[in-house]
Amino acid sequence: MKGELDMPERSAICREIDADLSALIDAELAPEREAEMRAHLDDCDRCAQRLQDLCNVDLALADLAAPMVAADLGQRLAARIASDSGERSVPVPDAASPKRSRTVTPRQPRRSLRRRLMPVAVVATAVLLAIVVANRQSSEVDPDPLQLARTLRSMNPAATLPEAATPGVNFGSLPDEDLAVLFEFDTVEDLDVIANLELLEQFVAMEALEG
């Protein structure tokens, strides 16, 4: 802690800085203001700590497991649209594979409380771990929390093309032909297993890195 932090005029500056910290994380500040903020943060432990705390929120949010879309959600939606509008041949994910003649019986929605991991969460964890591991090897250097928070934010499907952002099984981005393959998995649990296997691989790779 620096003694000068207790000086009142310093506190006033810190309060102004504080009010803009979230906007800094979200890359919403004008370049001049961002430069000003960064200069202050280099100099002020208290504000740097506040930034770290706020960035930790983003890391925690990125690390939350995301729900997997039930394979039959599109079909259930299609049924609702059909009854809503009286239309026939409503677009449904399964209609993408007309060659398959099996009858689709809508599954009962699963109400499991078990959280399902989506690849996005796996990627977020992998990035976090990679940065943490790199950071351990050079123990003096803190990871740039701002960089980390912004990287995680930019990996979210809503911010980028889902196709590009989410490797592995992604119900929402498969081309039509591959959808039939996806439906070969009979339950969402199968997809769950795949996602968890990917996560396991990340941990194994990380342990190997650690030696």
Partner 1 sequence: MQSLDEDVRLMLAFREGDPRAFDRLFRRWSGPLLRYLERMVRDAASAEDLVQEAFLRVHRSRERYSPDARFSTWLYRIATNLALNELRRPRHKAVHSSIGDEQALPLPSRGPAVDEVVDARRMGGRVEEELARLPEKQRAALCLAAVEGFSYAEVAQALDVTEKSVKSLVHRARSTLAERLREHWGHEE
Q: Tell me how far, at minimum, the Cβ of 8 lies from partner 1, in Å.
A: 22
Residue type at 173 in one-letter notation: S
Residues in contact with 78: Cβ distance below 8 Å, sequence separation at least 6, in sequence order: 90, 91, 92, 95
Told to check if 30 binds partner 1 by CB under 8 A, we report: no
Residues in contact with 30: Cβ distance below 8 Å, sequence separation at least 6, in sequence order: none
Told to check if 14 binds Zn ion by CB under 5 A, we report: yes
Pick the binder of partner 1 from 73, 127, 180, 205 (CB under 8 A).
Answer: 73
User: Among Zn ion, partner 1, none, what does residue 125 contact (CB within 5–8 Å per kind)?
Assistant: partner 1
Q: Which of residues 146-205 bind partner 1 (CB under 8 A)?
A: 153-154, 156-162, 170-174, 203
Helix (H, G, I), strand (E, B) or coil at 71: coil
Told to check if 47 binds Zn ion by CB under 5 A, we report: yes
DSSP H/E element including 91: none
Residue from 97, 119, 96 nearest 191 by CA: 119
Q: Tell me how far, at minimum, the Cβ of 56 lies from partner 1, in Å.
A: 7
Residue ranges binding Zn ion (CB under 5 A): 14, 44, 47
